[in-house]
Amino acid sequence: MASIVSADALALQRLYHWEKTSPDRVLFTQPLGGGQVVTFTWRQVMDQSRRMAAHLQSLGLQPGDKVALLSKNTAHWLMADFAIWIGGFVSVPLYPTLAAGTIRQILEHSEAKLLFVGKLDGWEGMKPGIPAGMTCISLPLAPPDAAKSYTPWDSIIAKTEPLKGNPLRDADELATIMYTSGTTGAPKGVMHSFGTFAWGVQSGLKRVPAINNSARMLSYLPLSHVAERTLVEHGLIATGMQVYFAESLDTFTLDLQRAKPTVFFSVPRLWVKFQQGIGAKMPPKKLDTLLKIPILGGIVRKKILTALGLQECTFAAGGAAPMPPDLLRWYNKLGLDLVEVYGMTENCGVSHATLPGKQRPGTVGLPYDGVQSRLDPVSSEIQMKAPCLMLGYFKEPELTQQAFTADGWLRTGDKGALDSEGNLKITGRVKDLFKTSKGKYVAPAPIEDKLVMHNAIEACCVTGANLGQPLALAMLNIDAAKKAGTAEGKAELEASLTEHIKTINETLDPHEQLDCLVVTAEAWTVDNDLITPTFKVKRNRIEDLFAKNYDAWVGMRKKVIWFKT
């Protein structure tokens, strides 16, 4: 790894570089609530990180010990991570939405010696997952109970001298263990070194020149997720860009307008919500008409993007799930060319992306520089190879072996195909394909992409192994669920969803056409284990809960079925 990545590109060397060359440059802008914000310069960030690193060493932690982080995104999340690395330790970030049982499982499996507890919404439900006797430190903005129960960050910083010198970590040293929110089984601990992340971000920056020293980003997707970790954390380490943080869902629009990000990444779910929000204020047909009028169209585009806080955005991207082609086309009309990116925790999120300004709806584009990609000739599984591949799964040698081919290529678990330009199209998961009773295979992902374009659907799952035709299950978003609470609203929704299914079925092959759409009353959440923290639907769990009803639903001969458990 050291021969592939320059030592100057490694995380700690970059941190010391900015500390020395740009000490008074503002790095973080952190909302405190009530419209108040606080900013942190590189000097302040590194001073606090050095002090915390010294404190961790004073506790008797040994080099390579694991230190966990449980918090929503804040400036101090990143300072804590920097402190862990400077001190010689390995960080273990946890999703800030996990249930207590999963928190305990990860803390015990990772052998974490200490836990940072920060800004959280569901702290009372999470607290039982922390093993008795575990040393904890509360970050600023932590829940009052955590701040009272654990030693506060600020009090440690106030009485601890900063660690002297510039401790370094080799490229091959373990930097972090990131537990995946897999759709099946227990989370697996993906191990990444300082070198794998450095190579990944350097390769990514060649494709995304908009991430530079003058860039601004809003950090709101969990920093425990590989996309945010690579784009935001390692992006800022590499370039020195400025990072803003979001306060809450309620203030998200204001947070975006404050940051005016020049680079913005989101999961498709949020891009759809933006679109639906605009559609609620202006009928789509009217918007289409206005956008076609030369001067007026430009004014409308600017007004919409300004309302979203994206008027200065020069690079916008989506990933972590398929981007519906219709959604890409819609944003293109607004003058925002969404780049679609593809990657996974096991490769630092660095695999494929479409080229800026060259949308290829339905594909995730071409491999990044230095990434090799191929399709298995039998299963069509996407396999890739690059210096950003994980070191393996922590304490899971058999699973690690299964994740790679005999010649060292990562098995992504995704099925793919190439278009005439070599762009990669994700056609589904290798294990998600199911066969109907007619002996025909169905790939659920492309059908789900079409379903979620309805403004009432929050999440969906297409299933139907051994049935005559596939069927779909769906969860409504909050507004649609409220609407369904009245007889009139429910009837209106049913008519709209019925028409939606009819329109989709007309685009599908006969064996793929949906028999019915089942709307479930219960929300799909991380707590009831129906979705992962990154909003991926757990198909196995859906099958466990609902498969016993499939035959009865089909027998009802209705296109939309309302189901209460």
Contact 339, 351 (CB under 8 A): no
Nearest to 233 by CA among 35, 77, 375, 124: 77
Q: Does residue 457 form part of some domain?
A: yes
Q: Does residue 421 form part of some domain?
A: no
Between residues 365 and 436, the one the model is more confident about: 365
Confidence of residue 321 (pLDDT cuts 50, 70, 90): low
What confidence score (pLDDT) does residue 90 get? 98
By CB neighbour count within 10 A (0-12 exposed, 13-18 middle, 19+ buried), where does 500 fall? buried
Q: Does residue 11 form part of some domain?
A: no
What's the token pair of residue 225?
């997720």
Confidence of residue 2 (pLDDT cuts 50, 70, 90): very low
Residue 430's φ and ψ, nearest 5 degrees, are: -55, -40
- Tens of pLDDT along 114-123? 999 999 998 9
Q: Does residue 466 form part of some domain?
A: yes
Mean pLDDT, range 181-207, rounded to an integer: 87
Does residue 181 carry a pLDDT above 80?
A: no
What's the token pair of residue 339?
């780049």
Within 8 A by CB and 6+ apart from 417, the residues are 375, 380, 424, 425, 427
Q: Does residue 153 form part of some domain?
A: no
Confidence of residue 329 (pLDDT cuts 50, 70, 90): confident
Does residue 184 carry a pLDDT above 70?
A: no
Whole-angstrom Cα distance, residue 349 to residue 234?
Answer: 12
Q: H-helix or E-strand containing 434?
A: strand 434-435
Secondary structure class of 369 (helix, strand, coil): coil
What confidence score (pLDDT) does residue 335 get? 86
Nearest to 202 by CA among 390, 387, 3: 387
Q: Does residue 480 form part of some domain?
A: yes
Does residue 164 carry a pLDDT above 80?
A: yes
Q: H-helix or E-strand containing 114?
A: strand 112-117
Nearest to 305 by CA among 335, 267, 343: 335
Using the 8-state DSSP alphabet, how is residue 186 labeled? Answer: S
Mean pLDDT, range 263-284, rounded to an integer: 84
Domain span including residue 460? 434-563
Nearest to 193 by CA among 407, 408, 1: 1
Nearest to 71 by CA among 14, 15, 139: 139
- Which CATH number is 529's domain given? 3.30.300.30
Contact 426, 324 (CB under 8 A): no
Does residue 276 carry a pLDDT above 90?
A: no
Query: Parallel, antiparallel, or unpaired for β 471-476 and 517-520?
Result: parallel
Which residue do the tokens 């780049």 mark? 339
Within 8 A by CB and 6+ apart from 247, the residues are 31, 33, 254, 255
- Tens of pLDDT along 425-460? 988 777 777 878 777 778 888 899 889 889 899 999
Mean pLDDT, range 221-228, rounded to an integer: 91
Whole-angstrom Cα distance, residue 162 to residue 281?
Answer: 53
Whole-angstrom Cα distance, residue 389 to residue 257?
Answer: 36
Secondary structure class of 553 (helix, strand, coil): helix
Confidence of residue 292 (pLDDT cuts 50, 70, 90): confident
What's the token pair of residue 272?
């759809």
Q: How many CB atoms lie within 10 A of CB 548?
A: 9
Domain count, the chain: 1
Within 8 A by CB and 6+ apart from 496, the residues are 454, 456
Give how far Cα 220 sits from Cα of 74, 210, 224, 337, 444, Å: 9, 19, 11, 21, 29
Q: Which range (156-170, 323-337, 365-379, 550-564) has the least confidence?
A: 323-337
Nearest to 447 by CA among 398, 501, 522, 409: 501
Within 8 A by CB and 6+ apart from 237, the residues are 11, 14, 15, 201
Q: Does residue 446 form part of some domain?
A: yes
What confidence score (pLDDT) does residue 325 get? 79
Does residue 303 carry a pLDDT above 50?
A: yes
Which residue do the tokens 């700690």 mark? 12
Q: Report H helices in 130-263.
A: 144-149, 153-159, 194-207, 226-228, 235-239, 252-259
Instruction: Tell me the average pLDDT of the chain.
Output: 91
Mean pLDDT, range 221-227, rounded to an integer: 91
Percentage of residues in the chain with pLDDT exceeding 90?
Answer: 66
Confidence of residue 144 (pLDDT cuts 50, 70, 90): very high
Contact 241, 211 (CB under 8 A): yes
Q: Which range (24-28, 328-332, 364-368, 420-424) has the least confidence?
A: 328-332
Nearest to 41 by CA among 242, 216, 235, 228: 242
- Tens of pLDDT along 227-243? 899 999 999 999 999 99
Q: How many CA atoms lie within 13 A of 278 on its CB side?
A: 22
Which residue do the tokens 């249930």 mark? 99
Nearest to 129 by CA among 158, 95, 106, 150: 106
Percentage of residues in the chain with pLDDT exceeding 70?
Answer: 98
Q: Does residue 476 form part of some domain?
A: yes
